Amino acid sequence: MKGASNPPPNWRDGKLKLGIKVRVAAWLASEVGEGNTFTREQLHVAFPGATQVERRMRDLREHGWEIDIARMADGVHMRLVKIGEPIWSPEGRLVAKRQIRTSAVRRSAILRRDNYVCTSCGVSAGEPHLDAQNLLARLSVRHLVSLAEGGTDRPENLVTICDRCNLGEVSIPSVNREEAARQIQDLSMQHKTVLLAWMARGERTPSPLDRAWAMFRHLDPDGRKEVVRVLAEAIERLAGEDATT
Ligand SMILES: [Zn+2]
């Protein structure tokens, strides 16, 4: 165990100013221990009011921590299979930083490969879910076969998926067959051809416009503002040129 030479700090000590991920790691190492189980309730009791506590705990997997999560009839059961990098120590922090960078690079490569849409329902980040218009989609990159079950970090085992598909909550309301036929009948010949190709492939190939839109949704707020400004200026310039010719 890597943590042995680097004992965890006191996860209760607020004066240490540790981030929630480091505190969860310290709690797991000192209170749960390798090989032992714990419940979601115990985690939330230890970190009351920390809304992102489960997410931060899952983030530890990037640092070699193995945590099994099983949903049973009587609640969620978790097991600390393996203690990973001691991210509370200076050396551990350095390794962790490098791991975060690699995983961010890997994550953006998978998002790009999957055209920035959920590979299951097709929603893009920040758009309302198809079956729940009041909820905005969040995309994440997930392992098809979990690391705990022997899956790898290789691209073929990684997939872009939205929060609702990830939880298995998406339920597309059933559609009336005549209505669908009518909708298709009303399409232009060009759109019909594209649609038929999508149907044959069993998936929608995003157009360059879709792809540009989905990439835009993935920019940070400053990036979005900048892109909007540049595009607006370009359109204005073109409109100006049209007016003078
Ligand atoms: Zn989805």
119 C-alpha to ligand 1 centroid (Å): 7
Greater model confidence, 100 or 172:
100
pLDDT computed for residue 179 by the predictor: 87
142 C-alpha to ligand 1 centroid (Å): 12
234 C-alpha to ligand 1 centroid (Å): 34
pLDDT computed for residue 189 by the predictor: 94
Q: Which domains does the chain have, with CATH numbers?
A: 2-82 (1.10.10), 114-166 (no CATH), 177-244 (no CATH)
pLDDT computed for residue 3 by the predictor: 43
Q: What is the mean pLDDT of residues 78-97?
A: 90
Q: Is pLDDT at 30 greater than 90 in this prediction?
A: yes
81 C-alpha to ligand 1 centroid (Å): 29
128 C-alpha to ligand 1 centroid (Å): 11
pLDDT computed for residue 148 by the predictor: 63
18 C-alpha to ligand 1 centroid (Å): 34
126 is written with which tokens? 């920040």
204 C-alpha to ligand 1 centroid (Å): 13
User: If you search the block for the tokens 């551990």, which residue do you land on?
Assistant: 92
Provide CB contacts within 8 A for 129, sequence distance 6+: 121, 123, 135, 136, 137, 162, 164, 170
Q: Is pLDDT at 135 greater than 50 in this prediction?
A: yes
Q: How many helices (H) and strands (E) does the chain have?
A: 9, 7
Residues 176-218: tens digit of each pLDDT: 889 889 999 999 999 999 889 888 887 767 777 877 887 887 7
122 C-alpha to ligand 1 centroid (Å): 6
26 C-alpha to ligand 1 centroid (Å): 34
139 C-alpha to ligand 1 centroid (Å): 8
125 C-alpha to ligand 1 centroid (Å): 10
> C-alpha 109: how far from its chain's center?
13
Q: What is the mean pLDDT of residues 148-158?
A: 81
